[in-house]
Amino acid sequence: MASVRFSIQNEINRIVNKLKNEQSPDGSWRYPFETGISTDAYMIILLRTLEINDEDLIKALVERIESKQQSNGAWKLFYDEGEGNLTATVEAYYALLYSGYRKKSDKNMQVAKRKILEMGGIERVHMFAKFMLSLTGQYPWPKFFPIPVEIILLPLSFPINFWDFSVYGRANLTPILILADNKYRTKTRRSPDLSDLFVSRCKDDDYWRWLQTDRPFFSYIKQGLKSFIGLSQYIHSAAIHHAKQYMLNRIEPDGTLYSYFSSTFLMIFALLSLGYPKNHPIIIKAVDGLKSFACRINGYPHMQYTTATVWNTSLVSYALQETGVPSTDPVIEKANRFLLLRQHDRYGDWAVRNPYSLPGGWGFSNMNTINPDVDDTTASLRAIHKFAIKEPLFRQAWDRGLNWLLSMQNDDGGYAAFEKNVNKRILRHIPIQGAEFILTDPSAADLTGRTLEFFGKFTNLSKHHPTIQRGVKWLVNHQEKNGSWYGRWGICYIYGTWAAVTGMISVGVTPKHPAIQKAVKWLLKIQNNDGGWGESCKSDIEKTYVPLGVSTLIHTSWALDALIAIFDEPIPEIQAGIQFILRSAERKDWTTSYPTGQGMAGGFYIHYHSYQYVFPLLTLSHYQKKFENFYV
């Protein structure tokens, strides 16, 4: 065991030194938030539409997009995605043509076109890609859209209203409501012709398969509008005005809407549809804000969907402190003072459902002032907890953050990401593709588990505190039959199980509890022969655990951390997992860039570049602390 201890300490030291060396001058860590090529494609399309000829950026994005093309012509969202992803392939093909630097006659473009037609044609792309294609003149708008813009005027008392949508849903749907209302479309002299990507020749509405409905939701909203406010051109104009103001009032200091690429992209087009010129200062600042999302990966620029600066910084600061780096170390000092500056002091949409709490949470991205979330708040509080003991300024921040966090528990006992009690089941039946992920913000095992873990390890809350008891009850009631938990924001069942188990153990749930024992059996059952664990992104599509077939460093770290929390001695399966981490520490292959974060099943996956350091570091540190007496 002495050699194991030596190897573990060496690996901890290696990661610690790497993280220290990669800290930014302002104290943050700016590891990429990588989401495939869609944002790169959309940036080209946006710049060409606005006739902003940033040729250096466009050329570089073209090269990055092409570098990701598969030999069969398609683009993928993740390694084991079969033949490829139709939506990503259409987006890439469109952007390459619109750039002007690639032609339909190019060999790789011909192969891509054949693959698009083989996979069903442009009419089978994801709904949100169809919106982009429609507003840039490549796809017909549907004659009917299931959500009228007037929904923004309905009061909170109405059974279904604008504030029932998640904040992410509102951010993206608000500009779409404006665009769909007037069926806005714009083309330029550079616009390519994508008509040869259609397989069928049917009526316009038939292209929008996800909008085929008997319109009960639409009729319900219309009836509500008639009952509450009547229907007139004045009401319609008022709804458009309110939708515009919703966007403008939530623009962050960098010019983006809520720090999201998609909502900012859509906002720009919505403003164009309302008569704003292409060179309007709001539009130019929004474009500059999106450009600021650029990072470099393997020599190419990548347009991040958002930045993960606060998330990365809080995770890294906490992980370093867990290894024994003192809070007085300049690296920790700089990191935590950066986090202090990023705590929110403004009310956001969260206050609509939680009106009695003062602001105090943290957001995810670097420039995020009104959209805090539970995960970043617990992560930031973990990072500053030692500072809160000794410095009044940090103690004030701690108290504000903790009070906000306590106020955000849902009525069902769980925790969601951004808001409180925003989970009406009827919204999942709206004919919007991905409505479950886009329009709702339900309690989730990963968020609930990590919040409990924070309460148990970093606060003085009793395990009998109602908040903790209700959280534990929610987790027990939402365990899968096989013993796992579904993790909403990661891949996927390993992620949720790790968070649920470590959370429950931290607040005093005994390892002998039936739910914990079921989780142990499941984790040990799915361990690979090499000692590691690995889960496919297909899990969140099929809503059941799908093994990846190989082990990844991050999945292994999550599974091991859960087992370490449960067992009082290092069982052989834990030892095998530790050996896998040590063998794979500097591994470089497709598994090291495999997405372990998710935004929307089948459409949006995230490779967090910080995770390959943070989670192995935490797991090795927890192993070392708990099992030090077993070393010879």
The single residue of 375, 376, 540, 561 carrying the catalytic annotation is 375
Residues facing 533 on adjacent strands:
552
Record the tokens describing residue 223, joined without a space: 């009836």
Measure CA 189 to chain center: 35
pLDDT at 433: 67
Reported as type and span, the H/E element at residue 598 is strand 597-600
Q: Which of 415, 438, 418, 413 is nearest to 428 (CA)?
A: 438
Residue 375 annotated in active site: yes
For residue 422, pLDDT over 80 is answered with yes
What is the widest separation between alpha-carbon atoms in the chain? Answer: 81
- Give the pLDDT confidence of 583-622 residue by residue, as tens digits: 998 888 999 999 999 988 888 999 999 999 999 999 999 9
430 — pLDDT class (breaks 50, 70, 90): confident
476 pLDDT higher than 60? yes
Q: Looking at the predicted structure, is the pLDDT value of residue 215 above 60?
A: no
Are 519 and 499 spatial neighbours (Cβ–Cβ below 8 Å)?
A: no
Whole-number pLDDT of residue 632: 41
Q: Kindly indicate the confidence band of residue 5, based on its pLDDT and cuts at 50, 70 and 90.
A: confident
CB-based contacts of 617-620 (< 8 A; 24+ apart in sequence): 617/12, 617/15, 617/16, 617/19, 617/319, 617/320, 617/322, 617/323, 618/319, 618/322, 618/557, 618/561, 619/557, 619/558, 619/560, 619/561, 619/564, 619/581, 620/8, 620/11, 620/12, 620/578, 620/581
User: How many residues are given for the chain?
Assistant: 632
Residue 287: pLDDT over 50: yes
| CA-to-CA dists, residue 549 to 41, 423, 529, angstroms | 31, 34, 10
Euclidean distance between CA atoms 276 and 499, whole angstroms: 46
How many angstroms separate the CA atoms of 102 and 100, rounded? 6
| pLDDT at residue 225 in the model | 66
Q: pLDDT value at position 454? A: 98
When pLDDT is averaged across residues 281-301 and rounded to a whole number, the result is: 97
**Which pLDDT belongs to residue 583?**
94
pLDDT of 434 above 70: no
Q: Which of 150-159, 385-394, 498-507 has the lowest mean pLDDT?
A: 150-159
Question: Average pLDDT over the chain, rounded to whole?
Answer: 93
Gyration radius (Cα) of the chain, Å = 25
**CB-side neighbour CA atoms (13 Å) of 426:** 9
pLDDT at 220 over 70: no
Cis peptide before 295 (omega within 30 of 0): no
Per-residue pLDDT of 171-190, as tens digits, reads 999 999 999 999 999 999 99
- pLDDT greater than 80 at residue 211: no
pLDDT of 401 over the 90 cut:
yes
Reported as a pLDDT band with limits 50, 70 and 90, residue 217 is low
H helix or E strand, kind and range, residue 39:
helix 38-49
Q: Which residue has the higher pLDDT, 4 or 350?
A: 350
Task: Give the neighbor-by-neighbor strand order of the sheet with 33-34.
Answer: 33-34, 604-608, 597-600
Element containing residue 284 per DSSP (H, E): helix 281-291
**pLDDT over 90 percentage in the chain:** 85
> How far are the Cα atoms of 62, 63, 212 from residue 69, in angstroms, in the given order?
11, 10, 33
Instruction: Report the pLDDT value the prediction gives residue 387, as an integer from 0 to 100.
Output: 96
Cα separation, 200 vs 577, in Å, equals 51
pLDDT tens-place string over residues 92-132: 999 999 999 999 999 999 999 999 999 999 999 998 999 99
Ordered domains of the chain (ranges, CATH):
33-303 (1.50.10.20)
Query: Quick check: 482 pLDDT over 80?
Result: yes
Integer Cα distance of 400 and 397 in angstroms: 5
